[in-house]
Amino acid sequence: MADSADAPLDVVAVAPHPDDLEIICGGTLARLVKQGYRVGMLDLTTGEPTPRGSPEIRARESEAARQALGVPFRRCVGLPNRELMDSPANRFVLATLFRRLRPTVVICPAGRTPAASPDHYQGQLLVEAARFYSQLTKWDDRFEGTAPYRVPHLVYAPFPIDAEARQWHGSFVVDVTDTFEQKIAAIRCYESQFDPARFDRVRHFVAGHCISVGGRCGFAYGEFFALPTPVGTADLFALTTGAKGPPAPVSLPGQPAAPLPPAARHDDRAAFGPPAG
């Protein structure tokens, strides 16, 4: 497994379990790699125990998923699954990794998921606190002798099953049309968690969510992100024209309608099943 990296990294994505990042922002991670950014993934726990998994199985699955996304670096932090908490001891562990990897951007899932694991929300709180701890001075012995480092940017990848409807200071959508199939391939690697029947349901949900989110910006597939601050830019035009317009614009007289990208036309049947009748 590619669990070592030369700092600094451009982007580090952190989540409680293997498969969380693939489901929430896998398309964006794959796109960042293709754009030439140095990307890393941190799984806070092994995700075990689960009914059909083991630490060894999950390690093999997460490595296969890493390769599917093309991300060069992934590491399991080794904190306890089911008991993951935002505690001072865990903050020291994660902040030490931030000091070593020195990312410009940290991505973490956000939101409360009472129908799923409470680790998800604790993971968000832990990332936020570890980001702050990473910059603290006169405490280097708590961080294995590493030097203080301030992570410039925090980005949330909200869970689509969050129990609360949230208002963010800033939000944006990343076009993942070209990497959506990589995202799905990475999720498919977790056979211990998704048997064929469950995988079909997960794929249906993930595809529908990405289509809905992306469609608002004119993308075939998109992933939603939020910020604790307003979105800043030095180029209003570039920021505004990043989206491609409404999902189904009316064709003006004498002008052809904009077609869906080939990837979207190809995936509709797989995502939503055969047409009725």
What is the homologous superfamily of the domain 11-272 according to CATH?
Answer: LmbE-like (3.40.50.10320)
Distance CA 187, CA 199 (A): 8
Note the pLDDT of residue 247: 84
DSSP bridge pairs for 5: none
pLDDT of residue 263: 60
Residues of the chain with pLDDT under 50: 268-277
State the Cα–Cα distance between residues 45 and 21, nearest whole angstrom.
13
pLDDT of residue 125: 98
Whether the CA torsion 80, 86, 90, 93 is positive or negative: it is: positive
DSSP for 140-183?
Answer: GGGGTTPPP----EEEEEE-TT-SS----SEEEEEE-GGGHHHH
Check residue 1 and give its pLDDT: 52
- What pLDDT shows up at residue 264? 60
Pair of tokens at residue 41: 């993934």
pLDDT at residue 275 in the model: 40
The beta strands (E) that lie in the chain are given as 11-15, 39-43, 73-76, 105-110, 153-158, 170-175, 222-227
